Chains A and B, each alone.
Chain A
Amino acid sequence: MGLLKLFWSLNWGARLGYVIVIFFAICALFAPWIAPYGQSQIVGDVWEPLFGEFVFGTDQIGRDMLSMLIYGARNMIGLALLTTGCAFGLGALLGFLAATMRGWVDQVLSRFVDMIISIPTLIFALIVLSATGTAIPWLITVIAITYAMPVFRIARAVAMDIEVMDYVEAARLRGEGLWWIMREEILPNAMTPLAAEFGLRFCFVFLLISGLSFLGLGLQPPLADWGAMVRGNADGIAWGYLHPLVPAACIALLTIGINLVVDTAVQKASGLRDDQ
C-alpha cells in the first residue's frame, strides 16, 4: 500500500522508469518460469518471422528470441550489476583515496589511470582476456577495471570538492582516520553524482560485452546475452530481418528505464540536501 502510494506520487517519467526496471527485474528473477523455452533450445527454423508462431521470432540458429531475451535479462542484468558494482567500488575507493591523500598518492593514481584510459578499451580487454580466458570472473574483472578508470576521475573530482568542506576539516581536526573520512564523510555526499554516472555505466557494460563478442570474447554460450543477440542477428538488418532490433530495443529500453529511475533518485537526494 505504502509503496503504491509512493509510486503514484512520482512524476510520469519516474513511474515509467520504475515500470521498465521492475519489468526487467521480474524477467531476470523468474526467467525459467516465464520463458516459454530454454535459452539454448532450438525450437524452429532459422529466423522465423516476428509475431508469428514465436512472438519475437527465432534467431540465427532457430532459438526462441523471446526466451533468450528473458534469460538474457537475467544474465545481463546480473552481470552488469556485478561489474558496475565492482567498477564503482574500485573507482570510488581509489578516487576518494587520491582526493583525500593528495600529494604523491594522487599523482601516482592519476597518472596510472591516465595511462590505462589511453589504451583503447577493446585492445585492453582483448589483451587481458586473451591471456586469461573469458570465464565470467575474468570478464567481470576486466570490465570492472576498464570502467573503474572513468569512475575514478569522477569520484576524485567530486571528492576534491567535498574534501574542502568544513565538515571534512572538522573530522580531520578530530583526528579521524583516512578510512572514516572516506567512508563516512565523503562517500555519502558523493553518492548523488556517482549514482547519476552509475545509470549510464550500467548500460555501457552491455555495449562493451557486445563489443567483445564482436572479437569472439564475451559471455559464454549457451548463456543468452543481448549484445551477442544483436551481433548474431545484425547482418539480417540490411535484408529486412528486424530480429536484431528486438534485443537492441531491450538494451535501449533498460537504459532509459534505469536512467529515469536514477534521475529521480538523484533529484530526490539533492532535494534533501538543499535547505531552501
Chain B
Amino acid sequence: MSDYDIKKLQKRVTNGGLDRREFIKAASAMGLAAVAPALYSQAAHATPKRGGTYRVGLGGANTGDKYDPADNGDTFMTNINQGAARNNLVEIGPSGEWMPELAESVEASPDAKTWVVKLRQGIEFHSGKTLDADDVIASIEHHRGEKSVSDAKSVAESMGKIRKDGKNTVIFELDGGNADFPYLLSDYHILIGSADKSGKVDWESADGTGAYVLKSFEPGVRAHLIRNPNYFKEGRGNFDEVKVTAINDAAARMNAMVTGQVDAIARCDLKTASMLEKKPGVSVLQTSGTKHYTYPMDMRQGPFDNKHVRMALKLGIDREAFVKTVLRGYGTVGNDHPIASSQNYHASELPQRQYDIEKAKWHLKQAGLSNLDIEIAASDAAFGGAVDATQLYAEQVRPAGINIKVNRVSADGYWNNVWMKVPWSASYWSGRPTADMMFTIGYKAGGNWTESHWNNPRFEQLLIQGRAELDEAKRSEIYVEMQTIVNQDGGSVIPCFANNVDAASDKLGRSAKLAGNRELDGGRSIERWWFT
C-alpha cells in the first residue's frame, strides 16, 4: 500500500507537481524519511536516453492541414511543426520565460524599439543547408505583406523593419517600443524555414532545423518522423522515430491511451480523465497555462452597454461549480480578466469575484430591470463541452431573474458567422505568453478580435505605456491596473482558466517541470521527452 503511495508521490515529482521539500515532507509522513532524498532524485533526475519509437495521439487534425506554419493553429500541426520539425528563434521555457533557440542572443535597445538577434552558428537544415539571416528574414516576410494570408500576419507586421547585418545577425526596428518582443519570435507561426535564392521559403518541402525529419505526412491522419542526427540541442530529440496519429475524437484518444496504442495523448477527455489517473502505468499530466474560456458581450448594444447588466452576468456564474463540472476540476477559476495566475504581472491582489445572486439582482435593479431575457450562442467549436457549459451557466444565473436561452449553433463556420457577429456567444482563448500580447490582441479598442467591442480610454493609454516600459515594477503596476479595469468594466465573463490535461505512459521520461504554454510540455514532448 505504501509502496503504491510512494510511487504516486514520485509520479507527481516527475510531473512537476511536487518540489523536493514537499516530497520529503510527504514521504517522511509515510515513514520513509531515511530513503526520501534518494527516492526524490530517482524521480526527478532521470537523464534523457536515446532510442525507441514514440507514438503520440493528437487531436485538432484536419485533412486540409499543411506544412506551412502560416496556417498552423491546432495541436496536431503545431506539435509536428514547432515541436519537432522546425524551430523558432526563441523558445518558451517551462516557467513561461523566453530563451534563445535558433538565436544565440536577443538584445534590445534601451527604448525597446530596436532588437538585435544573433543567430547560433553552424546550424544545418535537414537538407544540409546552413542557417543564415536570409532564411530568417524570408521566413518572417512570408507572413507579411499584402498577399499574406497568414494567421500571424499582424504579429509579423508588428515586427517593423527587418534587415540583416552580416550572415548571422538580424535587426528588427519596431515602430514603437515593445519589451516583450522576444515573445513574438516564439510564436508558433514564426518558424524558420530554408530560403531559396529568390528569397522565398518552400514550406511544403518541410525542410527545417528541428530535431526530427518528416518522413511522411498524411493530412488529418498521421505523420511519421525520424531523428535528425545533426540536431543542435543537447539531450533533445531522443526518440529514433515518432509516429503521430490524428485522433480527433476525445473518447477515442482516451481509449487509445488506455489500451497502450499510443504512449501519450494531448488533451484528455476531462470527463474521464480522473478514471485514467487510476490506471497503472499511465500518468495524467496537468499544467496550468493561459487557456481560458470567455463569454464576450457586444458592448455596443443593449443590454450589454449597461455596466450593471454586465456585472450582474459576471456575478451570476458559479465559478467553482463551473470549474468542477465543466473542467472536472482541471483548471482554476477566472476573475473576468485574461491573465492567468501563472503569468507575470497577474493581479493577485484583485479580489476574486464570487457567485452572488443577491448582488446580481441588485445590479440588475440598478440597470432598471427586474428580470432579463437574453440569448447566447454556443457551439462545441468554441471549446469542448461549450454547449453543456453554457447550459450550466444558464441554470446558475436563473435565480437572479436572468433567463439565458442557449442557442446551439453549428460548429461549422462558428468563428466566421457567430463569434463577434451575434451579441453574445461562447469563446475560447489559448492565451498569450505576455499580458501585453493578450490585451493587444483581445481588448484593444477596434482590434479585429476585440470580442466585446470594448473601448476604454484609460485602458488604451496604459496599453501603450506598458509595452514600452522596461522597468519591471512600473510595468507590473500598469498591468495590474489594466486587469482591474477589465475585471470591473470589461465585456467578457471569464469563468475559468483551463489546465492543459494530457496523459503519458510512465515509460516516458520528462523533466521535472513541464512547460504549460501549450499541451504536452509546451507542444514539444516530441523534442523534449525520452523513453526511460
Residues of B within 8 A of A126 (CB): 412
Q: Is the interface of B mostly helix, strand, loop or mixed?
A: helix
Known contacts A40-B395, A46-B271, A60-B271: does B410 contact A235 (CB below 8 Å)? no
Q: Is there contact, CB below 8 Å, between B408 and A62? A: no
Which one, B254, B328, B394, contacts A40 given CB within 8 A?
Answer: B394
Q: Which of A81-89, A145-153, A200-208, A216-224 contacts B (4 or more CB under 8 A)?
A: A216-224
Would you list which residues of chain A between 190 and 222 have a CB under 8 Å from chain B?
215-218, 220-222
Would you list which residues of chain A between 57 and 93 have a CB under 8 Å from chain B?
60-62
Can you name the residue of chain A whose Cβ is closest to the Cβ of B390?
A: A221
Known contacts A61-B388, A61-B392: does B410 contact A238 (CB below 8 Å)? no
Residues of A within 8 A of B34 (CB): none
Q: Is there contact, CB below 8 Å, between A234 and B251? A: yes
Q: Is there contact, CB below 8 Å, between B254 and A235? A: yes
Residues of B within 8 A of A8 (CB): none
Q: Is there contact, CB below 8 Å, between A133 and B258? A: no
Q: Is there contact, CB below 8 Å, between B325 and A61? A: yes
Can you name the residue of chain A whose Cβ is closest to the Cβ of B269?
A: A235
B406 to chain A: closest CB distance in Å? Answer: 5
Q: CA A61 – CA B258 in complex, angstroms? A: 24
Q: CA A130 – CA B406 in complex, angstroms? A: 18
Residues of A within 8 A of B255 (CB): 238
Check A253 for interface membership: any CB of B closer than 8 A. no
Q: Is there contact, CB below 8 Å, between A46 and B391? A: no
Check B205 for interface membership: any CB of A closer than 8 A. no
Can you name the residue of chain B whose Cβ is closest to the Cβ of A219?
A: B408
Q: Is there contact, CB below 8 Å, between B410 and A216? A: yes
Fill in one digit per residue for B250-285: 1 if any A CB lies within 8 Å of its CB, else 0.
Answer: 110011001000000000010110010000000000
Which one, A42, A46, A61, A133, contacts B410 given CB within 8 A?
Answer: A133
Can you name the residue of chain A whose Cβ is closest to the Cβ of B255?
A: A238
Q: CA A144 – CA B272 in complex, angstroms? A: 36
Q: Is there contact, CB below 8 Å, between B388 and A60? A: yes
Q: Which of B113-121, B215-223, B297-305, B379-387 contacts A (4 or more CB under 8 A)?
A: B379-387
Which one, B269, B271, B410, contacts A217 given CB within 8 A?
Answer: B410
Would you list which residues of chain B between 373 and 421 have a CB under 8 Å from chain A?
379-381, 385, 387-389, 391-392, 394-396, 406-413
Can you name the residue of chain B whose Cβ is closest to the Cβ of A59?
A: B388
Which one, A42, A133, A215, A236, contacts B392 given CB within 8 A?
Answer: A42
Check A129 for interface membership: any CB of B closer than 8 A. yes
Which one, B272, B381, B408, contacts A221 given CB within 8 A?
Answer: B408
Can you name the residue of chain B whose Cβ is closest to the Cβ of A46?
A: B325
Residues of A within 8 A of B409 (CB): 133-134
Q: Is there contact, CB below 8 Å, between B391 and A222? A: yes
Check A232 for interface membership: any CB of B closer than 8 A. yes
A126 to chain B: closest CB distance in Å? Answer: 7
Would you list which residues of chain A between 218 and 256 have a CB under 8 Å from chain B?
218, 220-222, 232, 234-236, 238-240
Residues of B within 8 A of A129 (CB): 410
Which one, B269, B271, B411, contacts A215 given CB within 8 A?
Answer: B411
Q: CA A133 – CA B408 in complex, angstroms? A: 9
Check A41 for interface membership: any CB of B closer than 8 A. yes
Residues of A within 8 A of B251 (CB): 234-235, 238
Q: Is there contact, CB below 8 Å, between A236 and B381? A: no
Can you name the residue of chain B whose Cβ is closest to the Cβ of A233?
A: B271
Residues of A within 8 A of B325 (CB): 42, 46, 61-62
Q: CA A221 – CA B394 in complex, angstroms? A: 11
Q: Is there contact, CB below 8 Å, between A134 and B408? A: yes
Fill in one digit per residue for A25-44: 1 if any B CB lies within 8 Å of its CB, else 0.
Answer: 00000000000000011100
A-B pairs with lowest CB-CB distance, top 7 = A235-B251, A216-B411, A239-B275, A130-B412, A61-B388, A239-B272, A42-B395
- 7 A-B pairs with CB atoms under 8 Å apart are A61-B392, A134-B408, A232-B388, A235-B254, A236-B271, A238-B258, A239-B275
* Further contacts, 10 of them, CB under 8 A, given A61-B391, A134-B410, A234-B251: A40-B391, A41-B395, A61-B326, A61-B392, A220-B407, A221-B387, A235-B250, A235-B254, A236-B271, A238-B251
